[in-house]
């Protein structure tokens, strides 16, 4: 891609095969929420537990699963129309080798994602008025550190990319193409960037409810949370646009590897 015009649109994906393949990937991420859901259920007072804890845990996974299904459907219908790609979709639809397409982009994806983690942690130390208190709550123990890594790799790297990039970003680009260009001509870089940034901001906003469960939200903390997560959303959105959905997934997962390295090192230092 030259950065000025869009390359020819990928071949039409097979909706059913692509849906099942991406849903299978996403389901692994949804299941990674189980330990978090169990901890949240166990922390509820008994008087609030009208249902068995096991059923409450299962119900806690239903909402993200529904959102995942909606996002996959939207992406399957719209992404290809505006030239956005999924290597998994091309593999299951047309037998195009996935690994051969993904491998050349792995160093870039992993390097950018891993580096991004350190950039975010550095900015967080400057912007976070609580000095990373919410991160400490999540990773105060060794099992917690590894639990967060698994959650980041599977839910962050897969589910969040399916939701925000394959679903939301594809929809935003398509809406711009449909409303502004009236389906005439190619999608401009400006239209892609607008969708990337808007999806990234939504990505940042989406982290606020979980944060609110750990600390009291302040205007500065809200701005900091949206800003830092939106930076990641912009990086992953750009990779989705230029390299494909799976490259964005690798970069997102690599960012969580970076967080894991820092958290593990901090834990070991504190032990000493």
Q: List the one residue out of 241, 228, 269 whose CA is nearest residue 176.
A: 241
> Which backbone phi and psi does 27 adopt, to 5 degrees?
-60, -35
Is 135 within a domain?
A: yes
What pLDDT, on a 0 to 100 scale, did the predictor assign at position 141? 84
Is 1 within a domain?
A: no
pLDDT confidence band for 98 (50 / 70 / 90)? very high
Note the pLDDT tens digit of each residue in 185-198: 788 899 999 999 99
pLDDT confidence band for 8 (50 / 70 / 90)? very low
Evaluate if residue 11 carries a pLDDT over 90.
no
Is 10 within a domain?
A: no
pLDDT confidence band for 65 (50 / 70 / 90)? very high
C-beta separation of 134 from 214 below 8 A: yes
User: What does the radius of gyration of the chain's CA atoms come to, in whole angstroms?
Assistant: 19
What pLDDT, on a 0 to 100 scale, did the predictor assign at position 2? 38
Is 209 within a domain?
A: yes
Residue with more model confidence, 39 or 118: 118
Average pLDDT over residues 65-90: 96
pTM of the model: 0.89
Residue with more model confidence, 2 or 101: 101
Count of domains observed in the chain: 1
CA-CA-CA-CA dihedral for 159, 133, 216, 43, to nearest 10: 70
Evaluate if residue 255 carries a pLDDT over 90.
yes
Is 6 within a domain?
A: no
Is 68 within a domain?
A: yes
Note the pLDDT tens digit of each residue in 19-33: 999 999 999 999 999
What pLDDT, on a 0 to 100 scale, did the predictor assign at position 133? 45
Q: Dihedral sign, CA of 67, 71, 77, 78?
A: positive
Of 58-62, 96-100, 128-132, 211-215, give the lowest mean pLDDT range. Answer: 128-132
Is 183 within a domain?
A: yes
From CA 82, how far away is CA 173, in angstroms rounded? 7
Note the pLDDT tens digit of each residue in 122-181: 988 887 655 444 444 445 688 889 999 999 999 999 999 999 999 999 999 999 998 887
Is 75 within a domain?
A: yes
pLDDT confidence band for 117 (50 / 70 / 90)? very high
Q: What is the residue range of 69's domain?
A: 15-271
Q: Dihedral sign, CA of 150, 146, 236, 204?
A: positive
What pLDDT, on a 0 to 100 scale, did the predictor assign at position 140? 67
What pLDDT, on a 0 to 100 scale, did the predictor assign at position 41? 75
Note the pLDDT tens digit of each residue in 201-249: 998 998 888 777 777 778 888 888 899 999 999 999 999 999 999 999 9
What pLDDT, on a 0 to 100 scale, did the predictor assign at position 271? 85
Evaluate if residue 9 carries a pLDDT over 70.
no
């Amino acid at each position: 891609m030259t950065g000025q015009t869009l390359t020819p649109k990928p071949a039409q994906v097979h909706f059913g095969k692509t849906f099942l393949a991406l849903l299978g990937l996403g389901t692994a991420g949804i299941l990674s929420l189980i330990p978090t859901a169990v901890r949240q259920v166990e922390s509820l007072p008994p008087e609030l537990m009208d249902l068995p804890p096991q059923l409450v845990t299962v119900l806690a996974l239903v909402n993200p699963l529904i959102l995942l299904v909606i996002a996959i459907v939207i992406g399957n219908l719209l992404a290809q129309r505006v030239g956005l790609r999924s290597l998994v979709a091309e593999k299951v639809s047309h037998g195009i080798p996935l690994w051969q397409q993904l491998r050349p982009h792995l160093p870039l994806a992993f390097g950018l994602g891993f580096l991004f983690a350190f950039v975010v942690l550095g900015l967080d130390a400057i912007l976070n008025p609580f000095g990373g208190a919410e991160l400490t709550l999540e990773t105060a123990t060794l099992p917690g550190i590894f639990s967060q890594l698994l959650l980041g790799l599977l839910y962050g790297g897969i589910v969040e990319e399916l939701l925000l990039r394959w679903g939301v970003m594809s929809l935003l680009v398509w809406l711009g193409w449909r409303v502004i260009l009236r389906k005439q001509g190619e999608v401009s870089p400006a239209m892609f960037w607008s969708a990337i940034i808007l999806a990234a901001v939504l990505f940042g906003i989406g982290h606020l409810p979980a944060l609110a469960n750990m600390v009291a939200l302040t205007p500065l903390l809200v701005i900091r949370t949206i800003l830092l997560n939106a930076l990641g959303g912009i990086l992953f959105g750009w990779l989705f646009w230029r390299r494909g959905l799976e490259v964005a997934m690798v970069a997102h997962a690599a960012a969580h590897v970076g967080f894991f390295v820092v958290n593990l090192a901090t834990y070991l230092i504190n032990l000493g």
